[in-house]
Amino acid sequence: MTEHDSIELVVERREPAAEDVVVLTLRHRLGAPLPPWEPGAHVDLLLAPGLERQYSLCGDPADRAGWRIAVLREPDGRGGSAHVHRRLGPGATVRARGPRNRFPLEPAPRYRFVAGGIGITPILPMLAAAEAAGADWTLLYGGRTRASMAFAGELSRYGGRVTLVPENEAGPLDLPAALDGLPPGGLVYCCGPGRLLDAVARRCPAGVLRVERFSPAEHDTGTDGDFEVVLARSGRTLRVPPDVSVLDTVRAAGVQVLYSCTEGTCGTCETDVLEGEPDHRDSVLTEDERAAGETMLICVSRCRGPRLVLDL
Ligand code: FES
């Protein structure tokens, strides 16, 4: 991935937000206004060569001078959070790309928000937007312990709309109480660990749930076969072997494509499908987008038939 279109940021402030969570306030290194964003958006931080990570923006979209992100240190992670915690102190610089929004807040008269752990970050600006729009909303926010739950103090301004559930005090989240009986027109927004997202999905009627996953969904890859990809712009045909992604296949052929996470969670590699039926393996597209089959995330998704034609 190149640094194409990236901007250089400087860490203005770094504050603890909870156990193992730091909040960074980032400004443009030259003091210029930052690109606009809306609740649900994330940025790619280019932490080091080969080390890119996505972080949700959790500040105020009206503040064009500063972006705020919160980063959980994950001891068993792949190095991104450790790098942020170790290296990004006040005055440090880092390049960023974006913002991009694959988790937009759609207009609705009522919302049920559900957050698990650091999944509170994209939800936070959504609450402010829902409040400003006069929507009827509630947040159910779970964490391991009270001390591990970022922004608990900030959320207290919303009073009874917010229910904090530290698991060691109150047990697991009461999803039926939060979700059952949502009147027509309501939407559920959920961000957190995969098992929470799956549990919420089981309680929601079709079309109501919007989610953002931080970790990739699991898929059985044991029966993957090979298939052909036709690159419509050049007419070239490439064979995608069972254990190689479409992204790696087209890159190996010298085609420039944008990508970032390579695990189907960030949305950067979304590509238009002109013919063929994608086998969607990402955590980004909605049910409707999957059914339409007009785009696919080529870092993880494959083909249900023998051939795909892509707008590349
Ligand atoms: S590169 Fe992130 S979804 Fe494909």
Residue-level pLDDT at 4: 55
Q: Which atom of ligand 1 is nearest to the CA of 54?
A: 2
Q: In whole angstroms, what is the distance from residue 182 CA to residue 43 CA? A: 32
Q: How confident is the model at residue 309 (pLDDT cuts 50, 70, 90)?
A: very high
Rounded to the nearest angstrom, the distance between the alpha carbon of 267 and the centre of ligand 1 is: 5
If one residue of 53, 248, 249, 261 were mutated to test the ligand 1 pocket, choosing by the most ligand atoms within 8 A of its CB, it would be 261
Structure confidence at residue 2 (pLDDT): 42
Identify the pLDDT of residue 1: 42
Q: For position 75, what pLDDT does the model report?
A: 80
Instruction: Check whether the bond before 122 is cis (ω within 30° of 0).
Output: no
- Taking residues 242-270, report their average pLDDT: 91
Q: Which amino acid type is present at position 132?
A: A
Residue nearest to atom 3 of ligand 1 (CA): 264
Whole-angstrom Cα distance, residue 140 to residue 271? 35
Write the pLDDT tens digit of every residue in 38-62.
999 999 999 988 888 999 999 999 9
Is residue 42 within 8 A of residue 124, CB to CB? The reply is no
Q: Is the CB of 99 under 6 A from ligand 1?
A: no
pLDDT value for 260: 85
Per-residue model confidence (pLDDT) at position 312: 95
User: pTM of the full predicted structure?
Assistant: 0.85
What digits encode the pLDDT tens for the residues 147-172?
999 999 999 999 999 999 999 999 99
- 142 vs 80, residue with greater confidence: 142
Which has more pLDDT, 158 or 222? 158
